[in-house]
Structure 1
Amino acid sequence: MSQPKSQALPQSIDDTLALLQGADYVADRALATVLFLSLRMERPLFLEGEAGVGKTEIAKVLASALGRRLIRLQCYEGLDVASAVYEWNYAAQMIEIRMEEATGHVDRNVMEKNVFSEKYLIRRPILDALSGKDGKAPVLLIDELDRTDEAFEAFLLEILSDFQVTVPELGTIRAEEAPIVIITSNRTREIHDALKRRCLYHWVDYPDAVRELEIVTRKVPEANKRLSQEVVGFIQRLRQVDLFKAPGVAETIDWASALTELDKIALDPETVSDTIGVLLKYQDDIARIEQGEGRRLLDEVRAELSDAG
């Protein structure tokens, strides 16, 4: 599949807002501002917030809107350099060595130079992101950095400061053009200050009711207007309840889609109970809503909508 044509970077905050909205991402001005500055200053953008508020989606939308390749490094406990940056194709290297030895003319210096060449280098996401050409640098998404350990964070410092990585056998590999770097964290642990200093920072919060309704309208346009209003009102109140895990924007969209699939045009207690597993993923949270909390929230939403019109 051919890559989409690269688009020019936005030249203002308003351009950045329009870029995001054109890709159906409803952002506030604060996010558009820090994203614009990140692009202009060629600084990584560190996005922190609860799971499901749309941090990862920002990188996806940015890559799509700019016509850039998205390279995603999904972080996990135990992530190492071989998986994130590069490794050598040891099997192919061994075949090369055996073939050299079979000729009977083995020059160890030449052999070492041959086997530790670009031909046998496997580029993992980070090194791949440093290989972009002028005007076509990819978007590098380092997703859920808080899942890794501090040793991996330390390794990232050189990359985020100078957009380069050192491969001992080849030397330092520098990006021709710095990739657009988006780093996300769900804040399951604190990220070290040394890494944060190399980035611009933004806390991605849950949207207010007006913005969340606009998101639902854009993402689930077939949903009944009244249903969308009730869904957003219910979830806005649900997030104020002391739950183990409050639903994110992704769950809002999923719930509106699920209710639309069921041909619902409004919420009722039975429907909330039957579909609550779309919103909540922990049994204690579900039990609390089913024991009367859900009905109370729904009554509040209906009363508010009635008063409004």
Structure 2
Amino acid sequence: MKRLLWLLPACAVLGGCFSLQEEKPLAVPAPRLSATQAAAGQKAQQLKEKKDKAKEFPTVLGGVVSSDRWVVYTAKEEEEFEGNVHYDNGTYAFRSDYALSQRKKNLFTARGHVFARTTDENGTLYTLQADHARYNYATGQGQASAQGKTPITLTYQTAAGDRVTARAQKAEFDTRQKIYILSGAAFITYQNAAGEESTLQADRITARQQDPYALLEGNAEVKNADYTLQADTLEYDGKNQMAYAYGQRPLAQGKTEDGTFAIIADKVTAQTATRQIKLSGRVQGWAVSDKLNRSKTN
């Protein structure tokens, strides 16, 4: 639960510096990329060199982006890519059916089987899959959305083995403020290197990486191996290792060393480190002790 959703869109690289020099719209076949560089996960210095090299763009993005059709609009300072849009330098990778680079707006837009992947200096891997994505590389703000029943998927995996997988119909993010908002049946799974798993789900999830902090709104649920916490609203304060549930009588149910329980109250407070739960306001429910059940007196 400490690492909820951290995404660094790889399409930020594709929206980098370039200039347009042609006087008329130009349609030419885009060049194909050479073989990809060594796989991600190499030493930090090697990854840094790849990143620096990736920022050395030619006069137009068509020099590094492969596609079936490439059109340059000089006056508007835009480049349009259609069909099998592809970029991969070993550290950053990007694919889509269509992409549009708008330099005047600092905007990069893609649609159709959008996939983005990047690896940082620590070997942490980030991926994004969506039907539509947009990123403003001047502000660091962007969004991704899904069409139909297939949700967008975002993953975060550290070199140590911790993994976060998030799914939703829409994601909004600010990579500078490190704020991420998932909406539409948002569901997050966190699994640490030891295999211990926690899940979070709600109609809307807002996560701040720097705190870390998360707010789950609407049909919210947090679940781990010991307990399940359900409420209208769930708030996770990673800095103080606390979780709060309120609105419409939250329900806490699970197990302890002594037995199982299911309790409702006006408010539920949980310490995430010790997993101790405190309930307050019209507390009702039951608790079953295995020791008591085995007692001859019972």
Higher strand fraction: Structure 1 or Structure 2?
A: 2
Give the number of the structure with larger relative contact order, counting CA–CA contacts within 8 Å between residues 6 or more apart.
1
Name the structure with the higher helix share.
1
Q: Structure 1 length normalisation: TM-score? A: 0.22
